[in-house]
């Protein structure tokens, strides 16, 4: 069950200004060990420790292969690749330099198979969160006034500054 809260777009320059959009409520972020404990409970035949070891080695090898210029596809999870963050364009090939024109690299992940957007949409169940507890324990998810307006719980989404007409829900990666 995916719980969501509604938030109003406050970006005055946006075509979506004043409209309400749903954002997921993230109740917990599982780390690798918690995921492996969960996997062990599914009677995979592998201990939590073995799952941790295999997944840590997988993460290390994915990084190694990405830095070697390869994409890595994990079926039913994602295709991992590296993107380049360009600082600015050069007027010519001769004027281009890594130091002047590239600010860094970034990890990209595109969902595949059973984790693709179309498959998640088929399996997802959504429910409006009736209340969520934030920093001071007094926040709510239905838009009522709060003593601390910054006490909203982590919704895991981008909550402002997006100029997309759909409020930030388009296009994927």
User: Does 93 fall in a domain?
Assistant: yes
> Are 98 and 116 in a shared domain?
yes
CA distance 62 to 143: 42
- Is residue 87 scored above 80 in pLDDT? yes
Q: Is residue 130 very low, low, confident or very high in pLDDT (cuts 50, 70, 90)? A: confident
Q: Which residue has the tokens 């830095």?
A: 67
> Are 75 and 118 in a shared domain?
yes
> Are 133 and 156 in a shared domain?
yes
Condensed to tens digits (0 to 9), the pLDDT of residues 88-114 reads 999 999 999 999 999 999 999 999 999
- Is residue 145 scored above 70 in pLDDT? no
User: Does 173 fall in a domain?
Assistant: no
Q: Do the bridges between strand 78-86 and strand 102-111 make them parallel or antiparallel, or are there none, so unpaired? A: antiparallel
pLDDT number for residue 148: 35
> Are 141 and 163 in a shared domain?
yes
* Residues near 45 by beta carbon (within 8 Å), at least 6 away in sequence: none
- Is residue 48 scored above 60 in pLDDT? yes
Query: Around 2, how many Cα atoms within 13 Å sit in the side-chain half-sphere?
Result: 12
> Are 55 and 92 in a shared domain?
no
> Are 12 and 35 in a shared domain?
no
pLDDT number for residue 43: 80
Q: What is the mean pLDDT of the chain?
A: 81
Contact (Cβ atoms closer than 8 angstroms) between residue 129 and residue 5: yes
- Is residue 154 scored above 60 in pLDDT? no
Q: Is residue 2 very low, low, confident or very high in pLDDT (cuts 50, 70, 90)? A: very high
Strands (E), 10-155: 20-24, 72-74, 78-86, 102-111, 126-128
- Residues 31-58: what's their mean pLDDT? 93
pLDDT number for residue 133: 59
Number of independent structural domains in the chain: 3
Percent of the chain past pLDDT 70, that is, above it, reads 75
Domain range enclosing 161: 1-25+129-168
First to last CA, the chain: 23
Angstrom distances, CA of residue 141 to CA of 10, 20, 92, 133: 17, 13, 52, 9
Asked which of 91, 109, 124 is the last residue of a domain, the reply is 124
């Amino acid at each position: 069950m995916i719980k969501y809260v509604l938030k109003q777009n406050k970006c005055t320059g946006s075509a979506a200004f004043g409209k309400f959009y749903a954002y997921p409520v993230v109740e917990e972020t599982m780390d690798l060990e918690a995921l492996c404990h969960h996997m062990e409970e599914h009677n995979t035949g592998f201990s939590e420790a073995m799952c941790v070891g295999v997944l840590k080695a997988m993460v290390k090898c994915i990084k190694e292969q990405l830095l070697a210029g390869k994409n890595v596809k994990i079926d039913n999870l994602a295709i991992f690749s590296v993107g380049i963050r360009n600082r600015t364009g050069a007027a010519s090939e001769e004027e281009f330099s890594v130091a002047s024109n590239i600010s860094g690299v970034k990890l990209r992940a595109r969902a595949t198979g059973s984790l693709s957007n179309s498959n998640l949409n088929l399996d997802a169940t959504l429910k409006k969160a009736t209340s969520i507890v934030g920093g001071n324990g007094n926040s709510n998810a239905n838009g009522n006034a709060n003593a601390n307006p910054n006490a909203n719980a982590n919704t895991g989404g981008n909550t402002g500054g997006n100029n997309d007409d759909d409020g930030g829900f388009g296009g994927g990666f």
